[in-house]
Chain A
Amino acid sequence: MENYLILNTLNFPILSTLLILPVVGAIVAMFLRSETALKYWGLVVTLITALVSLPLWTNFDQTTAKYQFAELRHWFPALDLEYVIGVDGISVLLVLLTTLVMPLCVLCSWTYIKTRWKEFIIVTLLMETAMIGVFVSMNTVLFYIFWEGMLVPMYLMIAIWGGARKDYASIKFFLYTFTGSIFLLVAIIAMYITTGTFFIPELMDHTYSFTFQVWVFLACAIGFAIKMPMFPFHTWLPAAHVEAPVSGSVILASILLKMGGYGFLRFCLPMAPAATLYFVPLLLVMSLISIIVGGYLALGQTDIKKLIAYSSVGHMGFVTLGIFLLNDAGIKGAMLQMLNHGVTTGALFILIGIIYERTHSREIADNSKLGMFMPIYVTFLGLFSLSSLAFPGTNSFVSEFLVLFGAFDKYPVVAAISILGAILAAAYMLRLLQKMVWDDSDGHAPHGEDGEARKRKLIDCNMREFVQLAFLTVFVFWIGLNPTPLLDIMDSSVAHLLHQIDAGSHLQDAVEQGSGHHAMLENAGTWIKNLF
C-alpha cells in the first residue's frame, strides 16, 4: 500500500488538520451566542483552514503521480479498513479551491443570512470538512462517507435558508443525488467483493473483466452524471440554485458540481478503462447535448440565478467533453474548466446575492439599468460575465481552448458542434449584461419606481463585497494569463491516468465491441472532410 503513497513530510498532518479544523470550529460554534461572534468565528475558522491548506501548493511535488501528504492509520481491522488520505495532481487543486472559496461563503452571507446564524455556521463548517474529505479520501468507504456527508448540510442549507420553493428544491436535490449515491455504493461493494480492498490505487490497478467494468462504469457514471449535472440528469440544479441562499449557490456551483468531474477522473476512467473506451461515444454525445441544451435554456431565462444555473450545465458539459476525449489537452482543459467554473460562477452567484439583498428580486427586469447607480458592481459583473463566456485573457478561455484543441485533434466533428455552445455562452451572457447594465426595454425604471427611490436602494458595493470580488478577480486573470503552474501540477497525474487507460484498454473483447462506435465517429470526421 505504501508504494502508492508519499507519506506526509510536513511537521504536522496537513490533510487531517484540514478535515478536523472545521469540525472543531463547528463544535465551538455550538457554544457561541451572539450573532456577531458567530459570524467572525466562521470567518476565522475558514480563513485558518485556507491558510493551513497553502503548503499543499508550495510543497507539492510535481514530478510524481503518487498520492502526497498521505496519512495511513489502521481504523477497522476486521474489514481491513484503513484511514488513508492523500492528494495527487488531480485532487490537490480542488482541495485548494474548496478551502479558498469557503471564507467567501461566510463573507457573502454576512448580511444575506438573517436568522439562525449558529446553525448556519455549523452547517457551513461541516460542509467544508465533507467536501475536503471527498477530495482527499484514498479509500472508497471513506470517500462514500464524506460523499453522503455532504448531502445533509447542503439539504439543510437549502431547506432552512432557501427561497419560496425551498421544500421542493431541497427534496429534489436530496432525492436526485441520493439516488446517484446508491448506485455508487453498489459499485464500491461490488469492487470490494472482487478485489478484497477498499484502497483506491489498488482498485485502479486491478484488472476486471469487461462485463464487470461496464457495470461498475455505469453505476459510478450515473452517480457522477447526476452530481455534474449532465443532461438528462440536470433538472435538480436550477431548482436548487434558485432556492438556495447565496452561500449555498456558491458552494453548489464552485465545489459540489466538481465532485462529478472528480469522480469520473478518480473512479470511472482508471478503474474501468475498457468500459470507458466503450462508452466514450455515448458520453461525448451527452456532453454535447449538455453544452447545447444548457446554453439554449440559459438564453431564455428571465431569472438571473436560473440563467447562471443553466450556464453551469453548459460549462460542465465542456468538463465531461474534455474528460472523455481521453487526451492530455482534453483532461487538463477539463480540470482547469472545473477550477475556472468554481471561480467565475462562484463570483457570479456572489454578484447575484449582492443585488438580491438590494432589490429583493432575481428577475432581470427588476435589476436593470444598474450602470447608472452601481459602477463598481457593474464593472465586476462585466468582468465575470466576460470570463464566463470565455473571453480571451480570462481564465475560462484557457480551459475552453484546451478542450476544443483536444477535441479538434481527435474528433473534429465533436469540436465543431461544441463551438455552438461557445456561441450560446456569448449570447446569453451578453444579453444578461446588456439588460442589467443598460436595458433597452423602455425608458422607465422597473415598476414605475422613481429614480430617487431606486438610487437610495441601489448602493454600490461596500468594502466587504469588494474584497470578495477582487479576490476572485485575481484568479480570473492569473489563470487566464499564466495557467502554466496549474497545468504543471496536473501534468504527472494526468500522464499517469492516460497511461492507466492505455494499459487497461487492451482487453480484447472491449476493443472488438468498442471499435464500432469509434469507427463511426472517425468516419463522420472523414466524411465531413471529404465534403470540401
Chain B
Amino acid sequence: MNTIITSKILITVLIPMITGLLVMVSGKKPNLRDSWSTLGAILTFVSVLSFLPVIQGGDQLQCTLFELYPGVAVKLNLDPLGVIFALVASFLWILASLYCVGYMRGLDEHAQTRFYVCYAVSVGAAMGAAFAGNLFTLYLFYEVVSIFTYPLVMHHQDEEGYAGAKKYIVYLMFTSKAFLLPAMIIVYVLAGTLDFNSASITAGIFPADVDHTMVVIAYLLCLFGFAKAGIMPLHNWLPDAMVAPTPVSALLHAVVVVKVGVFSICRVMLSIFGTNILADTGMGLLTAYFVSFTILTASVIALTKTNLKARLAYSTVSQLSYIVLGVAMLTPNSITGGLVHIANHAFAKITLFFAAGCIFVASGKKDISEMGGLGKRMPFTMVAFGLASLGMIGVPPVGGFVTKWYLALGTIDLHNWILLTVLLVSSLLNAGYFVPVVLKAFFGKPLPADEGLTSSLEGKPLIMFMVVPLVITGALSVLVGVFPNLFLDLINLMVKS
C-alpha cells in the first residue's frame, strides 16, 4: 500500500461547501439555486468517483492541512472504508437534491434557501468525516454535521420542530462534549497522536505496553460519544428528529447523520483501537451483545408505530446497529457484513423515506392505516417501497441479504449461537413491520373517503421529481444485492491487509 500525498482530495469536501455559498447568494432565484444544489451533488460524486481507481489499486490518498499541535492536525486520508461511505452519500445526494425540489416546492415550504445551504454543508461535512485522517478531523466534521443539521430539524419552526431540534442538539452536543472530547484526549495521552492507523485494522495506534484499563475507558467513551449512531440508550433523538421535512429525514437521517455516527464508531474501532486490542480486552463481544439489545428492542418498538416515518425511524435505529454488530464481532466475515451494510442500508432506507415523503406530498397521508389501496394509485412508489423493505428484511437477492449472509457467517465463525439467534429473530421482526405496509398498500381497503378514487397520484411534474429518484434508489437497492462486488472488493482491501 502506498500513501499518495495530494491536495486533490480536498476538492470533495470543498465542493459541497462552495455549493452552500452559491445557494446562499442565489437565494432570490429558486431555479438557479436548486440547479446549484444538483450540480454540486453531481460534481461531488464525480470527484469521489475519480479517486476510486486509486483506492481500488490498494493505494491511499492523503493531505494534511493544518497542524494544531504535534499529532493533532486537520488531515484527510482516503481509504477503502472512507470511499465506500463517500460514494454512497455523494451519489444519494444527487437524487436527494432532485427529490428536494419536488418536495419543498410541492409543499411550498418556507426558508428554502436556508434549507438548501444547511443541506449542502451537512453533506460536505459528512464527506469530511468520510475522508478524515485522524480522530480530530473526524470530530471536527462530526460536530459540523450536528450544527448544520440543527436548522434542518427545526425547519418548520413550530412547537414540535423546536422540541425535536432541542432534543437533537442536546443529545448530540452533550454526548460529544461529555464522552467524545475526553475520549480523544485519553487517546492522545496514551498514543501521543490522533492519526488513524489506515494500514491495518488489527494493530490500532497504541503502543504495545499500553494500560488496558485506560484503553477500555477511552473505547467506551467513544462508543457512547458518537450518539449519532443511535445505539440505545442514546437513540431517543432520532425518532423526534423525524419532525424535519422528509428529504432531511431521508438523506440526513438515513444516510448522512446516522451514518456519520456509525461510520465514526467503525472507524474508531478499526483504525484507532484495532481488532487485536478489542479482542484482548473483551470489548468486541461486549459491544456485540450490547448492540444486539438495540437491534431487537428497536424492532419491537417499530412494530408498535403506526406513523410511517416513526416506524422507519425505529427501523433505522435497529438497522444501524447491524453495522456496529458486524464490526464488533471482529471476524473478517462479520466486518465485511457490517461495512457493506453502510451501503445496503443507505439505498434501501432512503427509498423508504423518499416513498413516505412522496406519499405525504401526493396524498397527505402519514399513517399506515390510511394507506389502504394506495398501491394502485402510486404503483411506482409502492413497488420501490416493497423492494427496499425486502432489502431491509434480508431477502435474496436484495442488498440486505448480502449483509445478513456475511453477518451470519461471522456468528458461525465465532460459534456464537446467541448472536445468530439475534440475527434470525430480528429478520422476522423486520418482516413483521414492513410486510403489513406493503400488503396494506396493494391489497388493503382504501379509507371510505378515498373509495372509488383510482386516478394516478404520480403524474404531476413536481411529483415526478420525487418518484424518479425513489425508483432509481429502489432499483439500486436490488442491484447492490445482485452485484455486491464493488463494495465487497473495497472492504476486502481493508480486511485482508
A contact patch SS: helix
- A73 on interface, CB distance cutoff 8 Å: no
Decide if B136 touches A405 in the complex (CB within 8 Å). Answer: no
Distance between A337 CB and nearest chain B CB, rounded to angstroms? 14
Specify which of B69, B186, B189, B217 is in contact with A483 (CB 8 Å cutoff).
Answer: B69
- A419 on interface, CB distance cutoff 8 Å: yes
Decide if B217 touches A532 in the complex (CB within 8 Å). Answer: yes
Separation of A482 and B74 alpha carbons in the complex (Å): 10
Number of A-B contacts (CB under 8 A): 75
List residues of A (370-420) whose CB comes within 8 Å of B's CBs.
386, 391-393, 398, 401-402, 404-405, 408-409, 415-416, 419
Interface residues on B, range: 35 or more
- A523 on interface, CB distance cutoff 8 Å: no
Decide if A430 touches B169 in the complex (CB within 8 Å). Answer: yes
Separation of A416 and B154 alpha carbons in the complex (Å): 33
Separation of A432 and B8 alpha carbons in the complex (Å): 39
- A: number of interface residues (CB 8 Å): 29
Decide if A401 touches B69 in the complex (CB within 8 Å). Answer: yes
Decide if A405 touches B66 in the complex (CB within 8 Å). Answer: no
Separation of A427 and B175 alpha carbons in the complex (Å): 12
Chain B residues near A156: list those with CB within 8 A. Answer: none
- A481 on interface, CB distance cutoff 8 Å: yes
Distance between A53 CB and nearest chain B CB, rounded to angstroms? 26
Separation of A398 and B140 alpha carbons in the complex (Å): 12
Specify which of B65, B157, B186 is in contact with A408 (CB 8 Å cutoff).
Answer: B186
A404-B182 CB under 8 A given contacts A392-B139, A423-B177: yes
Can you list, as one digit per residue, whether each of B168-182 has a CB less than 8 Å from chain A (1) or not (0)?
Answer: 011001100110011
Can you list, as one digit per residue, whether each of A429-442 has a CB less than 8 Å from chain B (1) or not (0)?
Answer: 01000100010100
Chain A residues near B468: list those with CB within 8 A. Answer: none
- A487 on interface, CB distance cutoff 8 Å: yes
Chain A residues near B208: list those with CB within 8 A. Answer: none
- A422 on interface, CB distance cutoff 8 Å: yes
Separation of A405 and B194 alpha carbons in the complex (Å): 12
Specify which of A393, A422, A434 is in contact with B166 (CB 8 Å cutoff).
Answer: A434
Chain B residues near A404: list those with CB within 8 A. Answer: 181-182, 185
Specify which of A426, A427, A487 is in contact with B69 (CB 8 Å cutoff).
Answer: A487
Can you list, as one digit per residue, whether each of B53-87 has a CB less than 8 Å from chain A (1) or not (0)?
Answer: 00000000000011111001010000000000000
CB-nearest residue of chain A relative to B158?
A443
Decide if A401 touches B66 in the complex (CB within 8 Å). Answer: no
Chain B residues near A409: list those with CB within 8 A. Answer: 189
A415-B69 CB under 8 A given contacts A422-B177, A438-B157: no
Chain A residues near B136: list those with CB within 8 A. Answer: 392
Chain A residues near B181: list those with CB within 8 A. Answer: 404, 419, 422
A426-B189 CB under 8 A given contacts A392-B139, A438-B154, A532-B213: no
Decide if B185 touches A438 in the complex (CB within 8 Å). Answer: no
Separation of A94 and B347 alpha carbons in the complex (Å): 54
- A484 on interface, CB distance cutoff 8 Å: yes
A481-B72 CB under 8 A given contacts A401-B185, A440-B166: no
Decide if B174 touches A423 in the complex (CB within 8 Å). Answer: yes
Separation of A408 and B184 alpha carbons in the complex (Å): 11
Chain A residues near B173: list those with CB within 8 A. Answer: 426-427, 430
CB-nearest residue of chain A relative to B213?
A532
- A529 on interface, CB distance cutoff 8 Å: yes
Chain B residues near A398: list those with CB within 8 A. Answer: 68-69
Decide if B185 touches A408 in the complex (CB within 8 Å). Answer: yes
13 further interface pairs, Cβ-Cβ under 8 Å (given A402-B69, A423-B174, A484-B67): A392-B136, A393-B140, A401-B185, A405-B188, A405-B189, A408-B182, A416-B182, A422-B177, A427-B173, A440-B163, A481-B66, A481-B74, A529-B214
Using a CB–CB distance below 8 Å, which chain B residues touch chain A?
A: 65-69, 72, 74, 136, 139-140, 143-144, 147, 154, 157, 159, 162-163, 166, 169-170, 173-174, 177-178, 181-182, 185-186, 188-189, 213-214, 216-217
